[in-house]
Structure 1
Amino acid sequence: MTSSSAAAAAAAVPYKGTSSTLAPEWASGSHRFKIAAYSLTKGIGVGQFFESAAFAVGGHDWVVRYYPDGETDGTTDYVSFFVRLASPAAGVTAKFNLTLAAQEHDTDGSGGPAPPPITISAREKPCQFTTTARTWGYKNFVKRTDLEASQYLKDDCLAVDCTVTVLKKLHVIAPDGLPAIASPPSDLHRHLARLLDSGEGTDVAFQVGGETFAAHRCLLAARSPVFRAELFGPMMEKSVQFIRIEDMEPVAFNAMLHFVYSDSLPQFEDPGTSTLMLQHLLAAADRYGMERLRLVCEEKLCRDLSVNMVATTLALAEQHRCAQLKAACLEFVASPGVLTAVMQTDGFEHLRISCPSILTELLEMLAEQISKAPK
C-alpha cells in the first residue's frame, strides 16, 4: 500500500476519541457615518479627510475617515474610506466591512423606477494593528463619477456603513460546544496570608524576644510536625494558648510564620540583610521540621555566597546537615584568592571554633587542587 493510499484509508476511519477545538471569540459592532453635504466636501485636497465620531467595539475606540478627493495622488478620481484605531494599542486583530449605505429613491419623475445601484462588494479582511500601524481601508473605494450617478448619493447626502469585528481571545471549545473554562491559578496562599495579617480566629500566641505573635494552631500543626507535637501531642493540654520561644529572633519567627501561611518567603526590606535572615530561617526550618522551607533557604544561600558571610553559612550548613549548601560553600572558599580574604572575617574564627573538622576538609580540597594543577 502506498503512503497516499494508507493516508486515505486512515482518513476514512471515524475518530472515536475525545476532541476539542481552539477557536476565536469575536466582538462585533457597526457605525454609520453620514455625509450630509457631499458637494461641500469636494475640493478640499488630496490626502485631506473628515473623521467620524469615535465608536467603541471590542474594548477599543474606532473612527471612519472619509477622503473626498482621494487619499493619495494616484487616487484623485476616487473617494477613499479608511477605518482607524483611535488610540494606540499593539496586538489588536480586527476585521472590517465598509459598504456604502443605499438610500431610498422616489421614481425618476417619469414614472419609471430609480436607476439601478452601482455594485460595491463588501470589503472585509483581517488586519493586525500595532502602535504605529493603526489604519486600514481602500484608496479606490469607489470612483467619484460612479458614485455621483448612483442611488448611494441622494439630496447631496452620502453614508457609509462600517462593521468592525475585533478578536477578543482564542479559547478551547469542549466537545459539548461550550467554552472550556481555564481555571485561574490557586490563590489559597493569599487568603491564608490575609488571615494571618488580620489575626481573626487565632487560638494560640507565641512570645519571642519580647514580641507576641498570634496564629492558628491547626494550620501550624499541618505545616510542622514539631508544632503538631507541641500543640496536639499527648503531653500538651488543649487549653494552652501561650507559648514562649527561646533562642530565636522575632523577625525570624515572623518570617517563618509568613512562610507557614503563604508558602513563600517575605520580601526583605534591606537586601543587605537577606543572607542573615536566610541563615536564621534555615535554623528555624530545621528546628521545626519544615523541610520545604529548609530547602528554599538552602537554595537561596547557595546563590548568595560572599566573602563576608560564607564562613558563617558554612558553619550553619555543617550544624544543620545541609550537604548541598556545605559543598557550595567549600567550593567557594577553595577558589583561588578567596580563602585568604575569608580568613580575615569574624565568621571564620567562629567556623574554626565551632566546626574544626571543616578546616580539615578545606585543607584536603586545597591539597587536591594543588596536586592537579599543571606543573
Structure 2
Amino acid sequence: MTSTTESSCTTQTVQGTHRFQICQFSYGNVGDNDYIRSGAFSVGGFDWVIVYCPDGDGVDGEEYISVYLELMSKYAEASALVDLRLINQVTGEACTICAENEVPNQFRSSSFEEATWGREKFISKRALKDSVYLKDNCLVIECVVTVVNELRVSGNKAFYQIEIPPPNALEHFGKMLKDASRADVTFKVRGETFPAHRAVLSARSPVFKEQLSEHMKENKMQHVTVDRMEPAVFEALLHFVYTDSLPTMDDLDRDEKDAVVQHLLVAAVQYGLERLKLMCECILCMSLDVKNVAVILRLADQHNCWKLKEACVDFLVPSERVDAVMKTHDYETMKLFSPSPLADVWEKSRRPRRSSP
C-alpha cells in the first residue's frame, strides 16, 4: 500500500484596482506642478497613487503623456506587479498600455525614482485624439496593483485529486430554450411563435407565474398572445430568463441594439425582472449621445430608473449639449409629455459651481 503526501509553497498576493478620471484632457496642465496625483488608494496594506503628467516627463516627451504608479506609504518597501491601462469608453473595457506582470517591481518610498514605476512615453497625444479612449474630453486611466507578500510553506497533507467541473446549470437551461420538444406553453408575438416552459418562467418572474396560472386555470390555454412587443425583444427576454444573460446581438448596428435594449428595459419592468432592468440601464448609460439622450431620459423618468435618469441629466448639463439636443424631434416629444426631467437639467445647469480652495 502506498500513500502520497504534499506540501506547498505559496506566494500571498493582494490585488486592487483604481480608476483615475482626467476631465478637460485638452486643457493640459493648468497647475503649478508638472504632474497630477490621483486620490490615494490602499492595496496590500500600502497607500498608492496614480501619477499623471499631461505634458510628458522628459526632455523630448512633450508629445506624450506620462503615467506612473507611486508608493505613498512613508518608510515602506513593497513588491508589486503593475498593470497600467486605458478605458475604452465605447465598450467600457480596459486595454493594457504597459505592464510588469512577470517579475514584481520593488518599490521604496525613499525617493521618487524608487517609489514609482510606469512609462515616460505612456501614449502619444496624437494617438489619443479621436480614439475610443477619449470621450467628451475625458480620459480614464486604470491601474491594477498586485502586492506580493512573503512566501508561505504549508505542512504535509494527504493528496487527493478529484476534478470538479464548473457549474453548468445555466448551460442546460439554455439548451432547454432551444429544444421545443418538452415545451408546454407557446407565446405568439406579432406572428412569430416562441415555445417555452411554464415551470422555468414561473420560477423566474412573478408576473409570468400569475399570468400562466390564470391562463391554465380558466381555459387550459397553452398559447399566450403578447401584445405591444417586438419579436426580437421577447426573444431577448426569454434568453435572459433561461440563461441570466443577454444575447450578443452582434448582427445589429448600434442604433438597432440601442432600440432593443430600450424596449427590453420596458419588458423587464413589465415582467418584474429587476436584474434585467439594471443590466439594460447600465448598457444605456454607456451609450448616451446627443441623438438618444432625450428618449432615454424620458424612458428613465417613466420607469423610475433613478441612476439612469441621473446619468442623462449629468450628460445634458453642459450648455452646448443642451443646445444640440433641443434641436432634435425627441426633445420636443419629451417636453410635451415628460417635462419634469427637463426641470432637473435646468436646475442642475444653473447651480453655482464651487470654487476650488
Quickly name the TM-score band, shorter chain normalised: 0.5 to 0.7
Residues 6 and 158 in structure 2, CA contact (< 8 A), matched pair in contact too: no
Aligned pair in 2 of structure 1 residues 317, 216: CA closer, same or farther (>3 Å)?
same
Amino acid of the structure 2 residue aligned with 1:327: E
List per-residue Cα deviations over 1:269-311 (Å, max 9, x = no partner): 1131221111011000000000110011111111111111111
235, 245, 253: which one aligns with 1:271:
253
Match of 1:327 in 2: 310
- Aligned: 1:344 with 2:327: yes
Amino acid of the structure 1 residue aligned with 2:338: C
Q: Determine the C-alpha separation between the residues in 2 that align with 1:339 and 1:228.
A: 44
TM-score normalized by structure 2? 0.53
Dislocated runs of 4+, deviation >6 Å: none
Secondary structure of the structure 2 residue equivalent to 1:326: helix
Match of 1:359 in 2: 342
Aligned pair in 2 of structure 1 residues 351, 185: CA closer, same or farther (>3 Å)?
farther
List per-residue Cα deviations over 1:171-218 (Å, max 9, x = no partner): x99944212x35333222222112111212101111111111110011
Match of 1:211 in 2: 192
Aligned pair in 2 of structure 1 residues 338, 188: CA closer, same or farther (>3 Å)?
same
- Aligned: 1:225 with 2:220: no
Amino acid of the structure 2 residue aligned with 1:242: H
Secondary structure of the structure 1 residue equivalent to 2:181: coil
Residues 230 and 236 in structure 1, CA contact (< 8 A), matched pair in contact too: no
Match of 1:178 in 2: 160
Aligned pair in 2 of structure 1 residues 362, 210: CA closer, same or farther (>3 Å)?
same
Gaps (5+ residues) in structure 2?
Answer: 10-153
Q: Determine the C-alpha separation between the residues in 2 that align with 1:208 and 1:311.
A: 28
Match of 2:283 in 1: 300
Q: Determine the C-alpha separation between the residues in 1 that align with 2:156 and 2:168.
A: 25
Match of 1:261 in 2: 242
Aligned pair in 2 of structure 1 residues 182, 337: CA closer, same or farther (>3 Å)?
farther
After superposing the two structures, state which structure 1 stretch, 268-277 or 233-242, moved more.
233-242
Q: How many equivalent pairs are there?
A: 206
Residues 233 and 264 in structure 2, CA contact (< 8 A), matched pair in contact too: yes
Q: Determine the C-alpha separation between the residues in 2 that align with 1:350 and 1:361.
A: 17
Query: Which has the larger share of strand?
Result: 2
User: 1:8-87 maps to which residues of 2 (within 5 A)?
Assistant: 21-22=7-8
Aligned pair in 2 of structure 1 residues 217, 235: CA closer, same or farther (>3 Å)?
closer
Secondary structure of the structure 1 residue equivalent to 2:327: coil
Larger radius of gyration: 1
175, 183, 202: which one aligns with 1:202:
183
Match of 2:228 in 1: 247
Amino acid of the structure 2 residue aligned with 1:322: C
Amino acid of the structure 2 residue aligned with 1:304: S
Q: Cα distance, 1:362 vs. partner?
A: 1.4
Gaps (5+ residues) in structure 1?
Answer: 1-18, 24-171
Residues 290 and 325 in structure 2, CA contact (< 8 A), matched pair in contact too: yes
Secondary structure of the structure 1 residue equivalent to 2:164: coil
Secondary structure of the structure 2 residue equivalent to 1:372: coil
Tell me the percent identity. 40
Match of 2:105 in 1: none
RMSD: 2.6
Match of 2:170 in 1: 189
Match of 1:6 in 2: none
TM-score normalized by structure 1? 0.51
Aligned pair in 2 of structure 1 residues 307, 182: CA closer, same or farther (>3 Å)?
farther
User: 1:275-286 maps to which residues of 2 (within 5 A)?
Assistant: 275-286=258-269
